[in-house]
């Protein structure tokens, strides 16, 4: 199992944890050992269900228990998963979410079903190389997102989930036809101006959908923020029961048009200064202060248990080849994403159609 770094260190490498191992014996025999827990390897079982799918089962789950009971198990899990103790976490909502995650994940005792995931195919006109990214998700900690390109849209699909938005859902969707031009550095600090611009672009997208021009690729919105005075930074509590995430919509148009038409300074290799608006919370203040370009996008948010999911407007910020961000307008929060540098062998999709089919399948499991 590949685990993300401890929150909020999004640029740190992934962590590796063995879950089971197979000893091949003579005459095609094999023994399976479960590696879960802290008492060493013990007897397990693996069953191949069908093509690209198998299941694991631990036959000695008592090896997963600790002498101190569930409380000791929770504290050990907390140190490994989050790199801290419960006393370090003062935010009540965050304590609640962490406890929910522990209860949810520990109940399976390494009895799991695995399905193959393909890495997204890469095209020469993609904005950046697609792939897996570690992202900050507020009190949920770090999660893994797969960035892929589909014509004039880009999608971030959750590979790991949380109590609000499960794995398989589209956490963010970026409209590459609607670029947002940021103003000078001082005027970027005004959240109301950013909100006004994004909502204007959202209204334009709605009109294009109604007129049929959206599918035909007509119109490309680019806005500048009006000048305004910055105000002192105000800390803001996180939204109590909603968490960021995304779902798919129909694709259309030819890839690369929006990027080719972009007139950002980054086209000449310069980049543009970037700063988060006042009042927008970020788990990681160490985000890049220069970006290449920004696009209109939507992010998926929902209540606990994926209740009342809805897509809300936001801004996709491309920093460089390995980092991007997303401003969740309704939540007034910012997610920073950093590329997973680990190499996965034999993970390429045999065809673009096979990759698209895989995306549909993993989403249908949680819809």
Tokens of 293: 């370009």
pTM: 0.82
Angle at Cα 38 formed by Cα 36 and Cα 39, nearest 5°? Answer: 100
Q: How confident is the model at residue 213 (pLDDT cuts 50, 70, 90)?
A: low
The predicted model gives 250-274 an average pLDDT of: 48
Measured in degrees and rounded to the nearest 5, phi and psi for residue 227 equal -65, 135
Q: Which two tokens stand for residue 18?
A: 């063995």
- 169 vs 27, higher pLDDT: 169
145 and 156 Cβ atoms separated by less than 8 Å:
yes
Amino acid 247: pLDDT: 33
Mean residue pLDDT of the chain comes to 83
- Least confident stretch, 83-92, 120-129, 132-141: 83-92
| Region 356-361 average pLDDT | 92
- Burial of 223: CB neighbours in 10 Å, binned 0-12, 13-18, 19+: buried
Q: Which tokens in the block code for residue 194?
A: 């950013």
Parallel/antiparallel/unpaired status of strands 333-339 and 281-282: parallel
């Amino acid at each position: 199992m590949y685990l993300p770094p401890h929150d909020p260190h999004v640029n740190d490498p992934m962590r590796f944890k063995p879950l089971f191992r197979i000893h091949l014996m003579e005459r095609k025999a094999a023994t399976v050992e479960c590696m879960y827990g802290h008492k060493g390897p013990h007897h397990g079982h693996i069953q191949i269900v069908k093509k690209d799918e198998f299941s694991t089962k631990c036959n000695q789950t008592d090896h997963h228990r600790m002498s101190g009971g569930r409380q000791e198990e929770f504290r050990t899990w907390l140190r490994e998963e989050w790199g801290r103790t419960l006393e370090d976490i003062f935010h009540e909502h965050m304590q609640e979410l962490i406890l929910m995650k522990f209860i949810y994940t520990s109940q399976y005792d390494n009895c799991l079903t695995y399905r193959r995931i393909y890495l997204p195919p890469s095209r020469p006109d993609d904005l950046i190389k697609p792939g897996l990214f570690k992202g900050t998700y507020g009190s949920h900690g770090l999660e893994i997102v797969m960035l892929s390109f589909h014509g004039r849209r880009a999608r971030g699909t959750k590979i790991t989930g949380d109590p609000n938005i499960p794995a398989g859902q589209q956490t963010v969707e970026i409209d590459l036809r609607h670029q947002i031009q940021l103003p000078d550095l001082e005027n970027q600090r005004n959240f109301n101006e950013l909100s006004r611009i994004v909502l204007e672009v959202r209204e334009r997208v709605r009109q294009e959908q109604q007129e049929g021009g959206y599918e035909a690729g007509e119109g490309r919105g680019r806005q500048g923020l009006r000048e305004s005075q910055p105000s002192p930074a105000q800390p803001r509590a996180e939204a109590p029961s909603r968490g960021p995430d995304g779902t798919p919509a129909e694709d259309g148009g030819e890839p690369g048009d929006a990027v080719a038409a972009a007139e950002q300074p980054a086209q000449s290799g310069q980049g543009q200064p970037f700063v988060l608006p006042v009042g927008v919370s970020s788990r990681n203040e160490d985000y890049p202060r220069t970006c290449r370009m920004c696009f209109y996008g939507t992010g998926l948010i929902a209540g606990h248990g994926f209740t009342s999911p809805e897509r809300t407007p936001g801004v996709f910020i491309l920093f460089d080849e390995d980092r991007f961000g997303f401003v969740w307008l309704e939540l007034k929060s910012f997610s920073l994403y950093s590329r997973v540098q680990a190499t996965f062998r034999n993970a390429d999709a045999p065809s673009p159609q096979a990759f698209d089919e895989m995306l549909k399948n993993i989403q249908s499991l949680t819809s």
